[in-house]
């Protein structure tokens, strides 16, 4: 494949598998136009049915408090917590099966971390370099991250001081899979950037006002930016983006399983179909009914260690609508 084609296909996925802000409304929507949920179809590819082992690559200079929030969130997928819980949220993702009838796994374990604090590929990244960063982490001596082609899922998280091409302009994150020629095997991965300083209004919705627009309404008539349940707009915003990418990877890891639409430039995956919806009644510019903790922070899910998180809903295959465990009906 020549470079131009490779770049083109990267660019296409960039547009499709991402969040973005439609400048015509004050709500985060799919950058490729809103896909039609009725067209959500299975395209015969695999889903992530085997137990998932998550490996985090912390790229850049990370705040330990922020790291702890993200670790606790990732450890909440397969752990009990008060209703509505992160694990219950994942049960909507589990409704998706592959052609053998296997459901998406319910076993998600945080299994390893790699600290790329010296910025192995510099402070300015592009899409090509994400795979190189994974390659570096799994070959780094003396303590490489395990390269696990059977169960591994690699999460490259870039810190506030790292620039990523398209970040904050077209995307907040994306998921894809590694190429054997680069990493040695095909494994699913996602990149998510910390948006707290670079573009909270775009990638940490609804905890910041969309850039140049009025804040998202909090309820009937009210109009106020939501308060992040873990005290940081950037990290609390990232949590929902990570969940979005994990759900889409699980149901469409090779971009040939569950998505809506025939336009390969803008496949609508199960998170894309529900951008900006966090509770009952959500849609348009309204996030929907969510809860407040004792300190007045907003959340819709409970996690381990008493943590609270705000995570967007995903498309429910059975109910045929966006759904989450905090639904009122
Ligand atoms: C597996 O998927 C099928 C089809 O959507 C669904 O009916 C079933 O409840 C799912 N199983 C689990 C354990 O979620
Ligand atoms: C890390 O983040 C927390 C919470 O956002 C903040 O209070 C703290 O000052 C940060 N620490 C450093 C070293 O920046």
pLDDT tens digits for range 176-227: 999 999 999 999 999 999 999 999 999 998 999 876 566 555 554 444 689 9
What DSSP letter does each residue of 62-87 carry, written as one string?
Answer: --HHHHHHHHHHHTTTTS--SSSBHH
The predicted pLDDT at position 212 comes to 59
As given in the structure block, the two tokens for residue 193 are 């950037």
Q: If you take atom 10 of ligand 1, which residue's CA is the nearest one?
A: 95
63 Cβ closer than 6 Å to some ligand 1 atom: no
Backbone angles phi, psi at 89, to 5 degrees: -60, -40
pLDDT tens for 98-137 read 999 999 999 999 999 999 999 999 999 999 999 999 999 9
Pairing mode of beta strands 321-323, 314-316: antiparallel
Q: Where in 81-181 does DSSP place strands (E)?
A: 108-116, 124-125, 152-158, 163-164, 173-177
Q: For all residues of the chain together, what is the average pLDDT? A: 87
Residue 329 domain flag:
no
The predicted pLDDT at position 261 comes to 86
pTM of the model: 0.89
44-58, 209-223, 234-248, 305-319: which range is least confident on average? 209-223
Cα–Cα distance measured from residue 205 to residue 117, given in angstroms and rounded to the nearest whole number: 27
The predicted pLDDT at position 6 comes to 27
The predicted pLDDT at position 285 comes to 80
As given in the structure block, the two tokens for residue 31 are 């950058």
Look at residue 29 and give its three-state secondary structure: strand
- pLDDT beyond 90 at 27: no
- Percentage of the chain lying above the pLDDT 90 cut: 77
| Ligand that lies nearest to the alpha carbon of residue 105, given by its number in the listed order | 1
- pLDDT beyond 90 at 83: yes
Q: Which atom of ligand 2 is nearest to the CA of 66?
A: 2
The predicted pLDDT at position 170 comes to 85
- pLDDT beyond 80 at 259: yes
Q: How far is the CA of 309 from the centre of ligand 1 (A)?
A: 25
What lines the ligand 2 site, CB under 6 Å? 63, 65-66, 231-232
Q: How far is the CA of 162 from the centre of ligand 1 (A)?
A: 40
- Residue of 327, 309, 83 whose CA lies nearest to 207: 309
7-16, 78-87, 131-140, 221-230: which range is least confident on average? 7-16
Residue 328 domain flag:
no
Residue 124 domain flag:
yes
Q: What is the mean pLDDT of residues 146-164?
A: 97
Give the model's confidence band at 76: pLDDT under 50 very low, under 70 low, under 90 confident, else very high. very high
Q: CA–CA distance from 158 to each of 35, 125, 231, 254, 316 (Å)?
A: 29, 9, 19, 23, 30
Q: Which atom of ligand 1 is nearest to the CA of 318?
A: 5
Q: Which atom of ligand 1 is nearest to the CA of 103?
A: 1
Cα–Cα distance measured from residue 280 to residue 299, given in angstroms and rounded to the nearest whole number: 13
Q: If you take atom 13 of ligand 2, which residue's CA is the nearest one?
A: 63
**Segments forming the whole domain that contains residue 82:** 3-323
The predicted pLDDT at position 30 comes to 38
The predicted pLDDT at position 25 comes to 27
The predicted pLDDT at position 2 comes to 28
97 Cβ closer than 6 Å to some ligand 1 atom: yes
Residue 246 domain flag:
yes
- In sequence order, which ranges of the chain are alpha helices (DSSP H)? 3-16, 64-74, 86-93, 127-139, 180-183, 200-203, 233-251
Q: Which atom of ligand 1 is nearest to the CA of 317?
A: 5
94 Cβ closer than 6 Å to some ligand 1 atom: yes
Q: If you take atom 10 of ligand 2, which residue's CA is the nearest one?
A: 63
125 Cβ closer than 6 Å to some ligand 1 atom: no
Cα–Cα distance measured from residue 324 to residue 280, given in angstroms and rounded to the nearest whole number: 9
Q: What is the mean pLDDT of residues 228-249?
A: 97
Residue 181 domain flag:
yes
Residue 115 domain flag:
yes
Q: If you take atom 12 of ligand 2, which residue's CA is the nearest one?
A: 63
- CA-CA-CA-CA dihedral for 206, 315, 286, 36, to nearest 10: 110
- Residue of 234, 231, 229 whose CA lies nearest to 278: 229
Q: How many domains does the chain have?
A: 1
Hey, which of 89, 92, 94 would you mutate to test ligand 1's pocket, going by the most ligand atoms within 8 Å of its Cβ?
94
Q: What is the mean pLDDT of residues 261-270?
A: 77
Q: What is the mean pLDDT of residues 295-314?
A: 98
Residue 159 domain flag:
yes
Q: Compute the residue count for the chain.
A: 329
- Bridge partners of 315? 322
**Using CB atoms within 10 A of its CB, is residue 250 exposed (0-12), middle (13-18) or buried (19+)?**
buried
The predicted pLDDT at position 225 comes to 87
Q: Which atom of ligand 2 is nearest to the CA of 64?
A: 1
The predicted pLDDT at position 23 comes to 26
Q: How far is the CA of 94 from the centre of ligand 1 (A)?
A: 6
Residue 221 domain flag:
yes
């Amino acid at each position: 494949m020549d470079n131009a084609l490779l770049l083109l296909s990267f660019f296409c996925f960039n547009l499709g598998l991402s969040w973005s802000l439609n400048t015509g409304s004050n709500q985060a929507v799919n950058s490729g136009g809103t896909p039609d949920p009725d067209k959500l179809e299975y395209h015969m590819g695999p889903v992530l049915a085997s137990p998932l082992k998550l490996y985090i690559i912390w790229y850049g200079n990370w705040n330990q408090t922020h790291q702890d929030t993200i670790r606790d969130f990732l450890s909440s997928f397969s752990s009990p917590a008060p209703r509505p819980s992160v694990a219950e949220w994942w049960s909507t993702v589990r409704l998706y099966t592959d052609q053998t009838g296997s459901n998406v796994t319910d076993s998600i374990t945080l299994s390893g971390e790699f600290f790329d604090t010296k910025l192995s590929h510099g402070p300015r990244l592009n899409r090509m370099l994400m795979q190189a960063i994974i390659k570096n982490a799994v070959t780094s001596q003396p303590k490489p991250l395990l390269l696990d082609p059977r169960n591994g899922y690699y999460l490259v998280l870039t810190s506030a001081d790292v620039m990523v091409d398209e970040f904050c302009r077209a995307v907040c994150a994306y998921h894809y899979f590694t190429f054997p020629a680069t990493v040695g095997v095909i494994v699913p991965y996602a990149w998510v950037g910390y948006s707290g300083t670079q573009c909270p209004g775009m990638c940490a919705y609804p905890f910041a006002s969309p850039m140049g627009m009025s804040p998202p309404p909090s309820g009937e008539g009210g109009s106020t930016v939501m308060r992040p349940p873990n005290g940081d707009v950037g990290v609390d915003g990232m949590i929902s983006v990570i969940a979005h990418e994990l759900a889409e990877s699980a149901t469409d890891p090779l971009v040939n399983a569950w998505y809506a639409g025939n336009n390969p430039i803008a496949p609508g995956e199960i998170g894309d179909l529900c951008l900006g919806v966090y509770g009952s009644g959500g849609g348009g510019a309204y996030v929907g009914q969510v809860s407040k903790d004792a300190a007045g922070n907003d959340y819709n899910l409970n996690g381990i260690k008493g943590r609270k998180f705000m995570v967007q809903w995903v498309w429910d295959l059975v109910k045929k609508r966006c759904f989450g465990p905090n639904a009122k009906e």
